[in-house]
Structure 1
Amino acid sequence: MYRILIVDDEPMIRKGLEKLIVQTEGFDCSVRTAENGEEALERIREERPDFVFTDIRMPRMDGLELCRRLAEAEPDVQVVVVSGYGDFEYARKCVSYGVKEYLLKPVGTAEVRDILAKLAASREKKRSSVYLSVAKLDEWVERMELAVWSLQADELETLLERLKRDYDFAHLTVSRQNEALQELYALLVKKLVQRDVVPADKELKLEGIATSGESFAKLEEAVRQVFRDLKAKRKGKARNPVEAAKAFIDDHLAKDVSLEEVADMLGLNPSYFSQLFKQSTDETFVQYRTRRRMEKAKRLLEQPHYRITDISYEVGYADHPHFTKMFKKHTGLSPSEYRSSLGID
C-alpha cells in the first residue's frame, strides 16, 4: 500500500483529487490531506508518505518552499506539483528540488492514472535495488546500547526515531522488516548482556505482525522496557557506574564499604562490577579504596592538629597498628616518619 499526501488550500480540489486517486483501479493506497506547507510538514512527521501532490500557491507556506524542505529532509519522497496554467512556468523552479512530475488543473482521471503508474514504477524500482548498510546498523546498535546503559532517555528516543525513518526509507517488506528488527534487537540484547543487563524479554516476538507501524511499536516498547528496568534497578541513577562508584568510595573512606554494597547501590552484579571497575581504572576495588585512603591520610597528616590515631579512624582503620602498616607499605614511611619528613613534630 502506498501512502499519499495531498496539499492544497482549496477543499474542493483536495477532495476531488483524493477521489480520483482512491478510485484508480488496481492502485492500493491510503490518502491524507493538508491545507498548506506547514500542515503538510506536520503530517509528514507523523507518517512519512511515498508520494506528495502539492499546489503552488498556498498561505503560510507555499508549495515551492514545501518542495525545498522535502528535498533537504525527505529526498526519497516523490513530489507531484499540481498547478494552474498560469503557475506552470513558476512551478518549473521545483526542478532544482527533484520534482519531475506535474499536473495541470483541472486534473483528469487519465492524467492521475498515468502519474500514479509512473510513481509506482519508480518506487518499485528503488525497492528492488535498495539495501541496508551493515555499518549503519552496527552504529545504531552501539549508540542504542550506550543510551540504555547510560540511561540517556532523550538519546534513546532520538535513536528510535532515526531507526524508524531509516528503515522506512529503505522500503522493506513487512516480513523482511520484522526479521531485521528481530536481528537488531538480538544484537542489542547481546551487547547489554555483556554489561550484565539481562532484559526480561530476550527475544522480540513479531509473529503475526502485519504492518510496519506495529513492528516498530513492538521494538520501541521492548527497548523502553529494558531502559525502565535498568533505571529501576539503579534506583534512577544515570551516572557512569564506575565514576559513581569512585565518588561513593571517596565519600565513605571512613567506613569499611564492601564491593558488594557498592554493586548493589549501582544495581549491578558484584562479579560484573568488579571486572568493569578493574577494566576502567586498572585497579581492583580494594586497591582503589586503599590508595584513596592513603592519599587522604597524607593530607590529614600534613595538618599538625590531627592526632595520628584520629586520622587512622578517619580513613577507615579502627586498628591503629594495621593503619601504620598499610601507610608504610604505600609510602615507605610510617605516619610519624612522614610527619617528621615534613618538619612536623
Structure 2
Amino acid sequence: MYRILIADDEPMIRKGLQKLVEQSGLPIASIRTAENGVEAMQLIREERPDFLFSDIRMPKMDGLELCREVAEMDADIQMVVISGYGDFEYAQKCVSFGVKEYLLKPVNKNKIQDVLEKLIRLDVKQRSEAFVPVSKLENWVGEMDEAIWTLKETEIASLLGAMKSELDAYRFKLSRICDVLGELSTLLSKRLNTRDVFTMSSQLTLEGTSNEEEAWERFASSIRQLMADLKAKRRGKLKDPVEEAKHYIEEHLAEEVSLEEVAEHIGLNASYFSQLFKQSTQETFVQYRTRRRMEKAKKLLEQPHYRITDISGEVGYADHPHFTKTFKKYAGCLPSEYRQRLGIE
C-alpha cells in the first residue's frame, strides 16, 4: 500500500489530482495534499510518503526547492513534477534531485495511472535489490537477545555500533534503514518471548523519522527500554513510560513543562518519546497536556471559592486571556459562562 502527497497551490487541481489517483485502482493507503512546498515539507516530516506529486510554481516554496529539500533528506521519496508547457525547461532542472517523471498540464486519468504504475514497478525493483541476508539479521537478533537477557549494556552498545557500520556499507536510503530496524525490533521481541518467562514488547516507532541518526537513536532507545523493562520485571516492579509521563504531567500542570523535560525525566529520547506517547494516547503531548489542564480547570470552576484569574494560574496559564480562549475552544464557552450554567455567580 502506497502513501501519496500532492503539492499544488490551486485547490481545484489538488482535488482533481486526488480524484484521479483514487480512481487509479492501485494499492493506495493514503493521499494527503499541501498548498505549497513549506506545508508539504511539514507533512513529509510527520509521515514519509512513497510518492510526491508537485507543481512547479507555488508560493512560499516552489516545486524546484521542494524537490531539492526532499533529495537532501535522502528520504527515498519518488518525485513527480507537474508543470505547464512554459515551465517544462524549468522543471527539467529537477533531474539532479532525482525526479522520476514529468507531467504536463492538463493531467488526465491515463497519464496518472501510467505514472503510478511506473513508480510502483520501480519501487518493487528497488526493494528486491536492497536487502540484508536473513542469516545476518538472525545473527544480530541472537546476539542482542543474549545481551539484553543478561543485561550487558556495554555489549549492547558495541553491537549497535557494529550493526550500524555494516548497514552503512549497504548505502540504503532512509526508508530501507527504517524497514530493517523495524524488522530487527519485531524479530527481537519474538526471540525474547520464546524464553516464556516475561512478555517482552519493543515499542519502536519510526514514523516521521527525518534522518538516519534519528532512526538509530530511536532503535537504541527502544533497546534500552527493553532492558529497563526486563530489570523492572525481575524486581517485580514495571513502570509504563507513558503512564509515568502522564503522572509527571499531572503533577506539573501549573508549570510550562516541555516534552523534552518529560522525556528526560523518564529517560527516553525526546523524538522517540513523542512518537510513543502519541501512539499510546492517540494525542500529541501538547494536546494531552491541554486537555488535562482544561479538565482540571472545569473541576476548579465548579468550586465557587476559586477566582477565575487564580484558576488560570493553577492550570499553567500566566496569560489569563490565553486561558479563556483555550477554555472556550475546549469547552465551547468562556469560564464565566461555564460557571453561570452551573448557577455559580
TM-score normalised by L of structure 2: 0.47
Structure with more relative contact order (C-alpha pairs < 8 Å, separation 6 or more): 2
